[in-house]
Every structure is written in C-alpha cells, then in structure tokens.
Structure 1
Amino acid sequence: MQFIEKMTYGRVVLGAGTLYGALNTLVRKQWIIPYGEEGDSRKKEYLITDIGKQKAEEELQRIEELWKLASTTMKEDRSE
C-alpha cells in the first residue's frame, strides 16, 4: 500500500481490503504466486508468473493504444 502511494505521489491510496482482494484474484488467476516462507511475518511477497507477464504486456499494449488515441484526439482538437 505504501509503495503504490509513494510511486503515484499520493494520487492512488489503496485500502487493505482492496489490495488483498486484488492479490487474491491474481493468485486465483495464476498471474502471481506466493514467494518465500509462510512464517508469522505480515509481509507477503509474490512472484509474477509467465502468464502474469503475458497479461501485463497485453494491458500495457491496451494502455498505449488508449494513450495514442487520446493524443491524436487532443491534437485534432487543438488544430480546429
């Protein structure tokens, strides 16, 4: 939660329920897997799987397409 808040300069603040719900979904889809020992540590770590990397790449491509569309639209609006 702290990492996301720091990396987004406070624009995104995740609650514990949101974060753990998302992690559980990613584990269920086998996009990530738990890493390390399951001791009493509150810190949980995960590794991205090959399918997770593939899905992340697909999402990056989708976001790039949206960015290009938005950029084109903004340029057209400015030229009118």
Structure 2
Amino acid sequence: MPRNDTIGLGELTDSTFYILLALTEPRHGYLIMQFVEELTNGRVQIGPASMYTIIKKLVNASLIEPLDGDGKKKSYIITDIGRELLHEDVKRRQAMVDDARFIFEGEGHR
C-alpha cells in the first residue's frame, strides 16, 4: 500500500503527526509551520507544499476542519476523530520506543 494511505490505516507520518499536534489550537498555514519548527527545536521543518497537501488529506479524512476566517488566511482545527487518532498514534509510537528500549537495554525477558 502506498505511503500516503497511512492515514486510512491509522498510522501517521511524522509530518502529519506534528500538523495534528499543531492544530489542537486553531492555526493557519504559516503558524502551523512555525509551531512545528519551534516545538521540535528545528528537527522537523514542513514546507508549504507538503503542509497543504497533508492539510487537504486531513480535511478529506475529517481529521481537521477549516474555520470561518477573515478571508486571506484559512485556519484549521483538529476534530474529535483527529484527536482520537492522534492519541492512538501516540500510544503506537510509545510502544515502539518501549520495544527499542527493551532491546537496547538487553533485559532478555519482560
């Protein structure tokens, strides 16, 4: 299955994950990019083309919704469905980190 179908599988790419995090509060495009860059201390930078492609997919999947805006800058907010998926993805990612720690620490058994 192509990588861009991960939303349908309930798995988020890193960029999608961070955009959903950013949209726990209403934000428009530039503020989303700025929030992600600041939150990650520059580790993650999302360009405008990628961001708007992801936003379109998130709107189509009902994970975010546009807000009535002042015209020029369209703001978005996460939906309840998006928030639920984000929480599930955090659990999935935490389980992955736990698995890696288990291996790296060489415990041998659980």
Deviation at 1:25, TM superposition (A): 0.6
Cα separation, 1, equivalents of 2:53 and 2:41: 23
Q: Which has the larger radius of gyration?
A: 1
| 2:93 aligned with 1:63 | yes
Aligned CA distance change for structure 1 residues 38 and 28 (closer, same or farther; 3 Å): farther
| 2:104 aligned with 1:74 | yes
Deviation at 1:57, TM superposition (A): 1.2
| 2:93 aligned with 1:53 | no
Alignment deviations for residues 25-60 of structure 1 (CA, whole Å, 9 cap, x no partner): 100000010013251x23x32121111111111101
**TM superposition score normalised by structure 1:** 0.84
Runs of 4+ in 1 over 6 A off after TM superposition: none
| 2:64 aligned with 1:14 | no
| 2:64 aligned with 1:32 | yes
Give the unaligned 5+ runs of structure 1.
Answer: none
**TM superposition score normalised by structure 2:** 0.63
Alignment deviations for residues 7-38 of structure 1 (CA, whole Å, 9 cap, x no partner): 11111111100111111110000001001325
Give RMSD over aligned pairs: 1.5
- Number of the residue aligned with 2:5: none
Identity of aligned residues (%): 33
Between the two proteins, the alignment pairs up a number of residues equal to 75
Cα separation, 1, equivalents of 2:58 and 2:68: 17
| 2:37 aligned with 1:5 | yes
Whether the 8 Å CA contact 2:69–2:75 is kept in 1: the answer is no
